[in-house]
Amino acid sequence: MLTKFDDYPIHQTPEPVARPATADRNAYDRYWFNGYAEDGEFYFGVGLGLYPNLRIMDCGFSIVRDGEQHAFHGSRRAPSEPTETTVGPFRLEVVEPMRSIRLIIEPNETGIECDLLFRARTACIEEGRQTWSQNGRVALDNTRFAQFGRWEGSIRYDGREVIVDPARVFGTKDRSWGLRPVGDPDPGGAPATELPQFYFLWAPINWKDRCTHFGVFENDDGRPWHWDAAIVPAYEDPNLIPGVEENKLADIVEVGHQLSYIPGTRRAGGAEVYLVEANGARHDIKLEPLICFRMKGIGYTHPEWGHGCWKGELAIAAESWKCDDLDPMAVENQHIQQVMRATCNGETGVGVMEQLAIGPHARYGFKDFLDPA
């Protein structure tokens, strides 16, 4: 089937663009964003995913503020036209590729709506291809890129309005595509013989004139099986941002981290990460948590609104909870992002640390599927 994109010279296979190169049910293509006030007043997350072999598109928007998290969920049968990035009242518009994107949630029965514009302050950072197998099967095989920016606009929820001022609200864009576990579990087959294990940290930080990017995946013995890091110049005028080929990144040769976990949880009470450049320059970054966002608000490990699950031709819903009422060790509450106040060589920045620690991790003393610190 032909689509609008077929009129551009972008084909990677002999098939039309709308036909995936793989028949794997876990094929996906995803937009993801966060936004946060520099003082930790609020955080919001945004996601839109297409699962072409499941014929599903879903989305989510969620904000945490004043000790509460409110979430909008949406799902639909995937459109035949890949330029159609709408799910009911939810609409994501690429205003200018790799420069600005607009999110609109029109007034709807959930009471959650917004009109937000993301403007880039850095060039895009391409991460290395991430491939991970478990129980003898490739479970993750994707490519992604990140980009830093500012947000402006407004959010309305639960009868309240939040003005999003670009002078104080930063954020990160994350685009990824490839394979990752989505939808309902695969039927049948022999049971797994290994304890599930996944350890992931991601810490993108905004500074005055640059941004630092840090991410690591580790095995149960604490050895990294993949890591990415970058230091990228930041620009207040998006028109000054260089193109992908002109973007000059520092050559990072080593990264590391040290977390102190809150007892009874797998959530950081504080953290330090470091980046070492090829010239020997070392950047030690101290991170202080300000506010915690549960990623289930935009579908990650959500027991009902998980990614790629069939909810009907079109479905939307909303939910909210008191953050202090959540069980910190419930599986669906493990995947989090914390807004972090960052310090490095006397300079202050702001960013997040994403955390997902499932199963054993020897360095931090985790031995079982989900034992707390």
DSSP string, 111-173: S-EEEEEEEESS--EEPPPEEEEETTEEEEEEEEEEEEEEEEEEEEETTEEEEE-TTTEEEEE
Mean pLDDT, residues 147-158: 98
Phi, psi of 304 (to 5 degrees): -115, -40
Query: Residue 88: inside a domain, yes or no?
Result: yes
Domain of 54 in residue numbering reads as 28-184+195-364
DSSP class of residue 280? S
- Tokens 């709408």, residue located: 86
Give the position of tokens 């027991």: 303
Do 56 and 310 contact (CB within 8 A), yes or no? yes
pLDDT of res. 360 = 97
Query: Is residue 1 in some structural domain?
Result: no
Write down the mean pLDDT value for the chain.
95
Identify whether the C-beta of residue 141 lies closer than 8 Å to the C-beta of residue 134. no
Look at residue 206 and tell me whether its pLDDT is greater than 90: yes
Matching residue, tokens 């070392």: 282
Residue 99 — φ and ψ, nearest 5°? -130, -50
Higher pLDDT: 133 or 258? It is 258
In a domain, 19, yes or no: no
> Does 189 score more than 80 pLDDT?
no
Does 8 reside within a domain?
A: no
Q: Is there a domain that residue 202 lies in?
A: yes
The reply to whether 237 falls in a domain is yes
290 contacts 339 by C-beta, under 8 angstroms: yes
Q: Are 183 and 51 in contact (CB under 8 A)?
A: yes
* pLDDT classification of 134: cutoffs 50, 70, 90: confident
CATH of the domain at 118: 2.40.370.10
Give the whole-number percent of the chain exceeding pLDDT 70.
99
**Cβ–Cβ contacts within 10 Å for residue 241, how many?**
22
pLDDT over threshold 80, residue 246: no
Is residue 189 a contact partner of residue 208, using CB atoms and an 8 Å limit? Answer: no
> What tokens appear for 7 in the block?
């009129």
3 state DSSP class of 4: helix
Paired tokens of 222: 């604490």
How many angstroms from the chain centroid is the CA of residue 264? Answer: 25
Separation of CA 201 from chain center: 11
Number of H helices, E strands in the chain: 0, 23
* Residue 45, pLDDT above cutoff 80: yes
Determine contact, residues 146/204, Cβ cutoff 8 Å.
Answer: yes
Centroid of chain to Cα 121: 18
Dist. CA 198–CA 232, nearest whole Å? 28
40 phi-psi bin (left φ>0, alpha ψ -120 to 50, beta other): left
Reduced to 3 states, what is the DSSP secondary structure of residue 329?
A: coil
Q: So what's the pLDDT on residue 250?
A: 81
Residue 178 pLDDT grade (very low, low, confident, very high; cuts 50, 70, 90) = very high
- Name the pLDDT band for 58 (thresholds 50, 70, 90): very high
Q: How many domains does the chain have?
A: 1
Residue 148's alpha-carbon distances to 152, 165, 360, in angstroms, are 14, 16, 32
Residue type present at position 6: D
Q: What is the average per-residue pLDDT within 8-26?
A: 89
What is the average per-residue pLDDT within 23-33?
A: 95
Q: What confidence score (pLDDT) does residue 210 get? A: 95
How many C-beta atoms surround the C-beta of residue 301 within 10 A? 17
Asked if 332 and 266 count as a contact pair (C-beta separation under 8 A), the reply is no
Least confident piece of the model among 80-94, 175-189, 329-343, 351-365: 175-189
Per-residue pLDDT, 211:
96
pLDDT of residue 279: 95
Backbone angles phi, psi at 42, to 5 degrees: -155, 165
- At residue 249, the pLDDT reads 81
Q: How far apart are CA 234 and CA 123, in angstroms?
A: 8
Q: How far apart are CA 53 and CA 40, in angstroms?
A: 39
**DSSP-derived pairing of the beta strands 169-179 and 252-261:** unpaired
- Please report whether residue 269 resides in a domain: yes
Say if residues 63 and 105 touch (Cβ distance below 8 Å).
no
235/55 Cα distance (integer angstroms): 39
pLDDT class for 312, splitting at 50, 70, 90? Answer: very high
Residue predicted with more confidence, 10 or 318: 318
**Residue 273: pLDDT band by 50, 70, 90 thresholds?**
very high
Residue 17 domain-assigned? no
**pTM of structure:** 0.96
DSSP-derived secondary structure letter, 185: P
Mean pLDDT of 321-350: 97
